Amino acid sequence: MFYEAEFTFLKNLLENLYIHFTILEAPANGIPDTLPIFDLGLRCLIYNEKDYTRFLTPALQRLNTPNTIFRIQDEYMCSYICLQLPDIQDGLLYLLIGPYVNRRLNRQTLLNFAEELNLSPKQFTQINKYYSDLPFLTDEETLFAITTAFGKKIWGSTENFSVEYIENALSERVVPVTSDSNFQEPEEAFLSMQVLEKRYASENHLIHMVSQGLIHNAETALSSNNFLLLEQRLADPVRNVKNYCIILNTLLRKGAEQGDVHPLHIDNLSSKFAREIEQITSPQGGQALQKEMVHKYCLLVKNHSMKGFSLLVQKVLTRIDSDLTADLTLKTQARFLNVNASYLSTLFKKETGMTLTDYVNKKRIEHAVFLLNSTSMQIQNIAQYCGIADVNYFTRIFKKYMKKTPKEYRQELAQANRKR
């Protein structure tokens, strides 16, 4: 199809907005033999029937109208947008967007609905969960504007297509309510796809800033673009902010990956935030976590990026970072990598500006500082956690880098904490 790029873009948008869509294939006469479960299982739940032919066949006869966007409200309080895609060689192809709801459905409304359909208590429980999980669009016009912008792409202009509003569709009855063949797309509709394109550009900008480890720029990108502040997809605001944080975590992983951080470190940080996301209890807590995530991923890139290093040196750095308690001597590293020790030593110093021994000691002392700040472990145990069995040697190395012994460092830290 000539609009493949635009169609892919639209599908990606819907997926990122957590809005379900179905591609319906039909023969030229418009009546397919089988139909997919387009409504996320609602009719299957109500009627205990997986054959959707009887639900959609009458509707497809009405929807078999080229160059038309249908806005549909079905008899189960669900909304859809449907259009027949042009330029299909064999048969017909429909894009059905939805289901979603455009108003909050309270418990009493659902109880009346269940009573009308004579549903069992078990069915009501399932129905209640079904509607609570459906996307809730506070501004349905945004989605419609996206679709009409897509219509303009595939049909040329608003003069080449119309819009019809239908109630009680996608059932055995299809009753048109209004039809406006002279539909004129509002000016904002033309801008909607551009707005969403800008949001994607903003996301890419954030990813790039993280990949460079630029903390201030990345935090500015997060706060100024607000690309995660989309319409409320679910009635639960906490679940919404959790979903946004999940999206952000994925984007930041991508940024760290582009920053040449080893997957080991990315996975550790990503898993940590995945756990914290599910512990969010308020929208404000979610927004605070978003800022922390951006900050920590940038630090991850600054501290663990391997850009500019050869593959051999990258392997050495990864092995050091993954286990400071291992035998990290030059001889062992060279044997592990099956290379000449002298060659590895020369290459490592050339690329890092430090000898392998100095680099390992530096990393071990950095970890020791972290443990002294965050735990009450005995200094001997800290030395072992840093891969140094001899506490006296550990103390000498620590003083070389920090200009004080571990004991003096901890005493100064305690004094500083008492003054706060």
Which region among 123-127, 244-248, 274-278 has the lowest average model confidence (pLDDT)?
123-127
Q: 164-182 in b/e burial notation, b at 16+ Cβ within 10 A?
A: bebebbbbeebeeeeeeee
Cβ atoms of 52 and 36 closer than 8 Å: yes
Which region among 31-45, 128-142, 149-163, 386-400 has the lowest average model confidence (pLDDT)?
31-45
Structure token digits, residue 210:
């993280």
CATH fold of 311-419: Arc Repressor Mutant, subunit A (1.10.10)
Structure token digits, residue 251:
């984007």
Mean pLDDT of 339-367: 93
Question: pLDDT by residue (tens digit) across 245-255?
Answer: 888 898 899 99
Q: How far apart are CA 298 and CA 210, in angstroms?
A: 5
Alpha carbons within 13 angstroms on the beta-carbon side of residue 55 total 22
Mean pLDDT of the chain: 81
Q: Which residue has the higher pLDDT, 77 or 419?
A: 77
| Residue matched to tokens 């109880």 | 111
Domain boundaries defined on the chain: 4-185, 191-304, 311-419
Q: How far apart are CA 398 and CA 260, in angstroms?
A: 30
Q: How far apart are CA 101 and CA 187, in angstroms?
A: 25
Mean pLDDT of 54-66: 72
Judged against a pLDDT cut of 90, whether residue 293 lies above it is answered with: yes
Taking each helix axis from N to C end, the angle separating 237-258 and 283-304, rounded to the nearest 10 degrees, works out to 10
Query: Is the torsion defined by CA of 403, 408, 410, 412 positive or negative?
Result: negative
Q: How far apart are CA 325 and CA 173, in angstroms?
A: 71
Confidence of residue 190 (pLDDT cuts 50, 70, 90): very low
Confidence of residue 356 (pLDDT cuts 50, 70, 90): very high
Judged against a pLDDT cut of 60, whether residue 261 lies above it is answered with: yes
Q: Which residue has the higher pLDDT, 316 or 240?
A: 316
Confidence of residue 232 (pLDDT cuts 50, 70, 90): very low
Q: Tell me the whole-structure pTM to 2 decimals.
A: 0.44
Confidence of residue 196 (pLDDT cuts 50, 70, 90): low
pLDDT of 316 reads: 92
Cβ neighbours of residue 26 closer than 8 Å, sequence gap 6 or more: 32, 60, 64, 91, 92, 93, 94
